[in-house]
A and B are shown apart, each in its own frame.
Chain A
């Protein structure tokens, strides 16, 4: 569900195995462990039960311990008063934006801003940042919202985002600076960020309900928690990159440490920090629907209501609005990141230097006055609004009728011949074999350190007591990732062959990524029914996106000089692709694969709304019974799976870079 390529959670350090064990011996140990795992699988019928499933003696009551810890922190330490006080402050801000945007009956009790004024503001901002195209995008989005009668809900959503995004940026900036200043802070923050970025959303929604309550404030706070990690990472990255020469010149001017930070380092790291801001915005929009489970008002809440009464057409309208908002805010914030200060010659009159500002003021005043005379310029009511829901319903209906015979015929085959046997195979595996296999794989890729990390991840999952459910999640995710790669890779290669096609494909990726996944759960159920095929299909729709995106990006990044050299040596298109472009793009494609795994893990949890028997189903139960401990344990199981794959791919990447470096 993350709205844009969140930075891969970077775990572990580059392998330093070489000085501990020679690479060859590392390979032998790793291989030995993998062979041992294979032997355990083959010998399964004769294995003692303790090697097939972890004996219940070793299954630790993590959930009870966490619940006790939460109770202690909440009541005995009185932390709940701190969080509730903070939430109270956030709520005050939300009341103000709520009043200004949709007329919530709170201080300052003004009339809501007319939609025409908001649309004009977005247009002027767009023009100032990126010319006519962005102006059109900004105005067009709000005209769409107003004309389709979604103004109230969109403003409810924006009233929360307007508070959550700046707070997330501020918090991220502070923590980023802290991590940059102090090695210890970084060492504490890094694993927390890794886990936070791979924890399913539902897992940390439960503590928020307990510490903050429900309502817009909870929506805002859960959005902040979800959006802050990329901001921290980008701030840290930006500050690290500041060249010492720049800092020295600052010192020569006699700057204090605060001045150095405020006027030298942060401005120099501007681009990275602004990319962080962009990430915060996109992550926040991705939370719009999920946060409505704990009281975020607006588009997400309305969307779930409409889906519950099977109004697909109208929910697609809302989905388009969310995509438009995301694309608009993404492009505006990116333009802001890339924007260079404009310099005017001396003597240019004030009016000319600030012509956009003047135009904005004139337009705002004009529309305000217009709105007093024509109510339609202030707000378009639901009854006057247009709707395209009938058309969308018809399109969906035609699509379903067309595809239904195909899916119906493959569904029986997939379930009986592929999925059920595959699931049974995963469940049949002795847990000891799985643990040892991953330890061996870790050893081969990154030495004993990696082996230990992999061992810990898989071992902890088995000690959580959710092994069978975790294996069902693993089976669905691995099959979905396999199919996503099978679809996304050729799609990316095809799209990357032409620049204009690549750009269109990337736009399609953006759209797919921000389009609320809940909407396509419904057609998927209609096609496949409530079963694992539907869940896996929904995961694939989402998982194909990063695979395609990173394949395109990887192939586009291949230096043209290399391609020209291949041309000169007489390579045909196929040879050029397989011998030059793809090998060069492999590291980027592997990052894409890593992202596909992360996306699939998030989505498979959401597929619990179709009906699954995996960790997601239990997570849903934990949410409805507000069981913090259980929710967190389940969430950590999912996070560990993600971190395991992330670690292995990172290690593989480091190894690949070393060998590539040697052969070059």
Chain B
């Protein structure tokens, strides 16, 4: 793996090892974190940005230097692998599980443990839609009023607004497996989902779209997930599971997917103290929602929100940094 690192980093690492070796010869000094900055990636949703800033400010309290870099949330795993960024705070089972596993197979990245928080990603509707379609959140009730969700491009069947195709959500497979009268239209970005939601709310139009929790949108537009047939492990590979004996994906997405932390495999060696802290860090759903709220509702900047969160929650993080 060393060959794939930036050459400067290699040289620095060599110098560090030399220095470390000579120091350990001279005394029994404990392993020190490198003075190079820990590079933390930030993406384009606020809970992740605030959480990354919280962790960054914790590292700074421990005497490390930290830098933030904005990257694509899928491509980041390649960067972690190469050591260009040091860690990733939010690995969602549903959205990034595939990219993460692929990176694990290639090597260079390690699993730094789970958050307490669980994630859920599934079909979702804002509250006012419940009045337009009685029987929700049951999926059969949704299917019964599919015509109300029709749009010009879907003809007579209802429209489900899915996330970008690269989120690999298998919505079409589920529609087919459950025999639903819906057509899947993929939005190109999360912004497109929210723009459609805002417009539909304004017009009072029925809409059913892809959503996830924890997410800021819960605070702005209250709503609920559609209840599909209960998730069973293997429902996506074994046709026998789920209500349709001949099809896969005939059940809900996992209702409590993991939220992991990931790190470059050189982190434990280069910044041992910071890595130990990273392994201990674990946020809960309410904590993540609170971080997002500080930015999305209270209009703080992410870095200020992180500082404020740290001030209010010292009892939470004090045990992590020792």
Stretch in B21-29, B172-180, B193-201 with 4+ CB within 8 Å of A = B193-201
Contacts of B1 on A, CB cut-off 8 Å?
none
A439 close to chain B: CB less than 8 A: no
Contacts of B161 on A, CB cut-off 8 Å?
530
Contact of A308 with B85 at beta-carbon distance under 8 Å, contacts A609-B191, A617-B188 already known = no
B46 with A309: CB separation less than 8 A: yes
Contacts of A625 on B, CB cut-off 8 Å?
74-75, 99, 166
Instruction: Compute how far the CA of A527 lies from the CA of B82 in the bound complex, rounded to whole angstroms.
Output: 43
One of B71, B185, B190 near A530 (C-beta < 8 A): B185
Contacts of A624 on B, CB cut-off 8 Å?
72-75, 99, 166
Contacts of A105 on B, CB cut-off 8 Å?
65
Chain B residue with minimal CB distance to A303? Answer: B44
B195 with A525: CB separation less than 8 A: yes
A531 with B153: CB separation less than 8 A: yes
Within 8 A of B (CB), among A267-315: 292-297, 301, 304-305, 307-310
One of B75, B185, B203, B296 near A531 (C-beta < 8 A): B185
A371 close to chain B: CB less than 8 A: no
Contacts of B82 on A, CB cut-off 8 Å?
213
Contact of A525 with B304 at beta-carbon distance under 8 Å, contacts A81-B7, A85-B7 already known = no
Contacts of B198 on A, CB cut-off 8 Å?
310, 526
B189 close to chain A: CB less than 8 A: yes
Contacts of B59 on A, CB cut-off 8 Å?
none
Interface size on B, residues (CB 8 A): 55
A521 with B7: CB separation less than 8 A: no
Contacts of B84 on A, CB cut-off 8 Å?
213-215
Q: How far is the CB of A656 from chain B (nearest CB, A)?
A: 40
Contact of A609 with B192 at beta-carbon distance under 8 Å, contacts A304-B44, A624-B75 already known = yes
Instruction: Compute how far the CA of A292 lies from the CA of B189 in the bound complex, rounded to whole angstroms.
Output: 15
B187 with A611: CB separation less than 8 A: yes
Q: What does the 1/0 interface line of B193-237 toward A look like (CB < 8 Å)?
A: 011101100110000000000001000100000000000000000
Q: What does the 1/0 interface line of A203-216 toward B look like (CB < 8 Å)?
A: 00000011001111
Q: What does the 1/0 interface line of B273-301 toward A look like (CB < 8 Å)?
A: 00000000000000000000001100001
A305 with B49: CB separation less than 8 A: yes
Instruction: Compute how far the CA of A612 lies from the CA of B189 in the bound complex, rounded to whole angstroms.
Output: 11
A214 with B188: CB separation less than 8 A: no
A382 close to chain B: CB less than 8 A: yes
A526 with B199: CB separation less than 8 A: yes
Instruction: Compute how far the CA of A214 lies from the CA of B220 in the bound complex, rounded to whole angstroms.
Output: 33
Contact of A309 with B75 at beta-carbon distance under 8 Å, contacts A85-B7, A522-B191 already known = no
Instruction: Compute how far the CA of A611 lies from the CA of B210 in the bound complex, rounded to whole angstroms.
Output: 14
B7 with A84: CB separation less than 8 A: yes
A415 with B187: CB separation less than 8 A: no
A608 close to chain B: CB less than 8 A: yes
Instruction: Compute how far the CA of A526 lies from the CA of B76 in the bound complex, rounded to whole angstroms.
Output: 30
Contacts of A23 on B, CB cut-off 8 Å?
none
Interface size on A, residues (CB 8 A): 58
Contacts of B157 on A, CB cut-off 8 Å?
none
Contacts of A295 on B, CB cut-off 8 Å?
69-71
Q: How far is the CB of B148 from chain A (nearest CB, A)?
A: 15
A88 with B7: CB separation less than 8 A: yes
B195 with A621: CB separation less than 8 A: no
Contact of A530 with B46 at beta-carbon distance under 8 Å, contacts A84-B7, A213-B84, A617-B165 already known = no
B78 close to chain A: CB less than 8 A: yes
Contacts of A214 on B, CB cut-off 8 Å?
41, 69, 71, 75-76, 79, 84-85
Contacts of A80 on B, CB cut-off 8 Å?
4
Chain B residue with minimal CB distance to A307? Answer: B191
Instruction: Compute how far the CA of A613 lies from the CA of B185 in the bound complex, rounded to whole angstroms.
Output: 10
Contacts of B151 on A, CB cut-off 8 Å?
529, 531
Chain A residue with minimal CB distance to B77? Answer: A626
B164 close to chain A: CB less than 8 A: yes
Q: How far is the CB of B162 from chain A (nearest CB, A)?
A: 9
A612 with B188: CB separation less than 8 A: yes
Contacts of B296 on A, CB cut-off 8 Å?
309
Contact of A530 with B196 at beta-carbon distance under 8 Å, contacts A88-B7, A214-B79 already known = yes
Q: How far is the CB of B45 from chain A (nearest CB, A)?
A: 6
B57 close to chain A: CB less than 8 A: no
Contact of A308 with B190 at beta-carbon distance under 8 Å, contacts A209-B79, A293-B72, A301-B70 already known = yes
B304 with A382: CB separation less than 8 A: yes
Instruction: Compute how far the CA of A530 lies from the CA of B165 in the bound complex, rounded to whole angstroms.
Output: 14
Chain A interface, >50% SS class:
helix
B70 with A411: CB separation less than 8 A: no
Contacts of A529 on B, CB cut-off 8 Å?
151, 196, 199
Within 8 A of B (CB), among A613-654: 617, 620-621, 623-626
A611 with B186: CB separation less than 8 A: yes
Contact of A620 with B166 at beta-carbon distance under 8 Å, contacts A214-B79, A530-B161 already known = yes
Q: What does the 1/0 interface line of A490-529 toward B look like (CB < 8 Å)?
A: 0000000000000000000000000000000111011101
B46 with A305: CB separation less than 8 A: yes
Contacts of B192 on A, CB cut-off 8 Å?
521, 525, 530, 609-611
Contact of A84 with B153 at beta-carbon distance under 8 Å, contacts A309-B296, A611-B186 already known = no
Contacts of B153 on A, CB cut-off 8 Å?
415, 420, 531-532
A621 with B70: CB separation less than 8 A: no
A64 close to chain B: CB less than 8 A: no
Contact of A215 with B6 at beta-carbon distance under 8 Å, contacts A209-B78, A612-B188, A620-B166 already known = no
Instruction: Compute how far the CA of A67 lies from the CA of B194 in the bound complex, rounded to whole angstroms.
Output: 36
Instruction: Compute how far the CA of A29 lies from the CA of B141 in the bound complex, rounded to whole angstroms.
Output: 63
A412 close to chain B: CB less than 8 A: yes
Contact of A620 with B216 at beta-carbon distance under 8 Å, contacts A88-B7, A530-B196 already known = no
Q: What does the 1/0 interface line of B4-40 toward A look like (CB < 8 Å)?
A: 1011100000000000000000000000000000010
Chain A residue with minimal CB distance to B102? Answer: A625
Instruction: Compute how far the CA of A297 lies from the CA of B73 in the bound complex, rounded to whole angstroms.
Output: 15
A621 with B166: CB separation less than 8 A: yes
Instruction: Compute how far the CA of A81 lies from the CA of B5 in the bound complex, rounded to whole angstroms.
Output: 9
Q: How far is the CB of B74 from chain A (nearest CB, A)?
A: 3
A391 close to chain B: CB less than 8 A: no
Contacts of B187 on A, CB cut-off 8 Å?
530, 610-611
Instruction: Compute how far the CA of A301 lies from the CA of B49 in the bound complex, rounded to whole angstroms.
Output: 12
Within 8 A of B (CB), among A123-144: none
Instruction: Compute how far the CA of A87 lies from the CA of B4 in the bound complex, rounded to whole angstroms.
Output: 15
A564 close to chain B: CB less than 8 A: no
A24 close to chain B: CB less than 8 A: no
Q: How far is the CB of B217 from chain A (nearest CB, A)?
A: 9
Instruction: Compute how far the CA of A309 lies from the CA of B296 in the bound complex, rounded to whole angstroms.
Output: 7
Supply 22 A–B pairs (Cβ within 8 Å), ascending by A: A81-B7, A84-B8, A87-B6, A88-B7, A213-B84, A215-B39, A216-B69, A293-B71, A294-B72, A294-B75, A308-B45, A382-B304, A521-B191, A523-B195, A529-B151, A531-B185, A609-B189, A611-B185, A612-B188, A623-B75, A624-B166, A625-B99
- Chain A positions within 8 Å of B, measured between CB atoms, are 75, 80-81, 84-85, 87-88, 105, 209-210, 213-216, 292-297, 301, 304-305, 307-310, 382, 400, 404, 411-412, 415-416, 420, 521-523, 525-527, 529-532, 607-612, 617, 620-621, 623-626
List the 6 closest A-B pairs by CB distance, nearest first: A624-B74, A525-B195, A213-B84, A526-B199, A611-B188, A415-B152
Q: Could you list 13 further interchain pairs (A-B, Cβ under 8 angstroms) beyond the known A84-B8, A214-B41, A415-B152?
A: A293-B72, A295-B71, A305-B302, A521-B192, A523-B195, A526-B196, A526-B199, A611-B189, A617-B188, A621-B165, A624-B99, A625-B75, A625-B99
